Amino acid sequence: MTTQTLDTQSLGAYLSRHIPGFRGPLTAEKFAGGQSNPTFKLTAADGQHYVLRRKPPGELLKSAHAVDREFRVISALHGTDVPVPKTHVLCEDNDVIGSMFYVMEYKEGRILWDPLLPEAADNAERSAIYDAMNQTMAALHNVDVNAVGLSDFGRPGNYFERQLDRWSKQYRASETRHIAAMESLMTWLAARMPEDDGTVSLVHGDYRLDNMMFHPTEPRVIALLDWELSTLGHPLADLANQCMAWMLPRDGRIKGLGGVDRAALGIPTDAEYIARYCERTGRDNIDNWNFYLVFSLFRLAAILQGIVKRAQIGTASSSEADAQGDAVGQLADQAILLID
């Protein structure tokens, strides 16, 4: 069985036993895109829809594709100010479809892929969508992790030091060619590591526009998605990750806002977006901002390198994964321009 297909007979029998009211037979349709945990839209016999996310089958990098952690954090956040789908069941039995998976609520809404927001009716809606992203991020970072049962969801303290170690090791494990810029970045980041300021929050780990679902007609986030990289960490990692994405060029595989006149489109500048976030989270200022941007570019490059490696061994979720190879070097080169 590949990442593109599911054993719907076995899955239907399992879900009939574990989700109240579920009846098979079912159909499964893989969502387009997505490089990490394959995601499917399920349709039950009564026409009700569900979403399934699974680990890819086969050989995987250590600690990657943690769908059980996704299930836990989404379940814990249900009922907070952070919009998430309702979860139904986590299956850790590999015999059902070949790997661990979970099933959650299917929501009707919009996934917006382009930060220019061509779908927006006008600048006011475009501005409101950006503010909704900002509000959702602040809500996430303001969650009381003790109150929602996530106090042990990660190790507090020294987050960026641990993250640099993690992604450097992941990069080494998936390295397919020598990239000088990546070597320089690992050295620079280790040397410029900011002193830990003691700030700890729940972080999403991949906070960006296309990892959230918006209301079908309103500029409102109805679900924050793709929690695979979530943990207890430093909130500035999420903020920098989002701002980093906007630095990218318009013609890249990941569309950014490089060279765009944001004011003409109602899109906030980084400074405006950061200021609003700080107001919502009670933060006075941000030191060492350049470090966080460089780290975000390095981490994204390391993630894409993992996709390249998985494409080589046949476990990547997308058939286009091997095309990410060029992007790794391009991201590293862009990060080099920011270091002093």
Angle, vertex CA 290, rays to CA 252 and CA 267, nearest 5: 55
For the chain, the structural domain boundaries read 8-105, 110-336
Class of domain 8-105: alpha beta
The CATH label, of 1.10.10.520, 3.90.1200.10, 3.40.50.2300, 3.30.70.370, for the domain at 110-336 is: 3.90.1200.10
Give Dmax (Cα) for the chain. Answer: 60
Answer yes or no: is pLDDT of 286 > 90. yes
User: How crowded is the C-beta side of 213, counted as CA atoms within 13 Å?
Assistant: 15
Cα(198)–Cα(210) distance, rounded to whole angstroms?
30
pLDDT at residue 1, rounded to an integer: 43
Answer yes or no: is pLDDT of 313 > 60. yes
Residue 58 or 310, more confident? 310
pLDDT at residue 2, rounded to an integer: 47
* Whole-number average pLDDT of the chain: 91
pLDDT in tens, 75-119: 999 999 999 999 999 999 999 999 999 999 999 999 999 999 999
Compute the average pLDDT of residues 18-27. Answer: 94
Answer yes or no: is pLDDT of 65 > 80. no
Q: Which of 43, 26, 31, 38 is nearest to 65 (CA)?
A: 38
pLDDT in tens, 168-193: 999 999 998 999 999 999 999 999 99
Q: Are 131 and 276 in contact (CB under 8 A)?
A: yes
- Please report the beta strands in 64-171, taking only residues with DSSP state E, as ranges in sequence order: 87-91, 101-105, 110-111
pLDDT at residue 274, rounded to an integer: 98
Q: Lowest-pLDDT range, 58-67, 84-93, 138-147, 282-291?
A: 58-67
Say which residues have a Cβ less than 8 Å from residue 107's Cβ, sequence separation at least 6: 85, 213, 222, 223
